[in-house]
Amino acid sequence: MRVQTLYAAGLNSKKIARLLPCIRDADGGPSEIADAQLVDELAAERDRIDRTIADLLRSREVLSDVIDMARAGLDAAH
């Protein structure tokens, strides 16, 4: 399950392979063996995901505006 979540987040198999030993088996939390480079890479991945989310939210706003204008036009035509 956790590997699928990491793939869905956009991490590639190489990065996931480096990350898995840093995850505790019992609760899925982080272990103490992560190195600074991995932490930096994961922070960069999180930043990339945040940018993607922001882009999607902007796209959603534009789409909502188009839908609202189209509905208003349909309502005015009736």
Q: What is the pLDDT of residues 25-78, one digit of tens each?
A: 666 666 677 778 888 888 898 899 999 999 999 999 999 999 999 999 998 887
| Contact criterion met (CB below 8 Å) for 43 and 30 | no
User: Which residue reads 């882009």 in tokens?
Assistant: 55
19 pLDDT tier (thresholds 50, 70, 90) = confident
pLDDT of residue 29: 62
Question: How many CA atoms lie within 13 Å of 51's alpha carbon, on the beta-carbon side?
Answer: 7
pLDDT of residue 24: 65
Q: Which domain holds residue 43?
A: 2-77
Q: How many domains does the chain have?
A: 1
pLDDT of residue 7: 87
